[in-house]
Amino acid sequence: MNIKELMQELSACNGASNVSKIRKNVVKLDMVKDSSKEFFIKLRDLGFEHCSLITAIDNQPEFELVYHFTSVNRSVSVGSTDMSVMVEVHVFLDRDAPTIESISDLWGGANWHER
């Protein structure tokens, strides 16, 4: 699957919007909170085996969660070099209820980021 096909696959997911390629090997998208767990399961099943970052941004009046997922086994050709693919996911949370389901059951290392 090339980056364009990956973007099409992610665009078809429930709750995904603003899917774009921000670098030759990086796809960025927004995801609604209520569909996020289902989407994260899909990412894991697509072979994104590493969650390298979870952070939060206070955008008043909402919070923005940013997740970075990498697939070492999935790569795209950039010139003569193969590069791993990364997906950057943004989830927006209401300030009055800033909670979201954990993903540490999908990526054990996410436990550290979620603390």
10-residue mean pLDDT profile of the chain (115 residues): values are 88 97 94 96 94 96 96 77 91 94 95 88
Give residue 54's pLDDT: 97
Task: State both tokens at 77.
Answer: 């050709």
CATH class of segment(s) 3-114? alpha beta
Look up the pTM and report it: 0.92
CA distance 18 to 20: 6
Domain residue limits, the chain:
3-114
Contacts of residue 102, Cβ cutoff 8 Å, sequence gap at least 6: 110, 111, 114
Token pair belonging to 39: 């989407």
At 42, list the tokens. 């899909």
Phi (first) and psi of residue 11, to 5 degrees: -60, -30
pLDDT at 74: 77
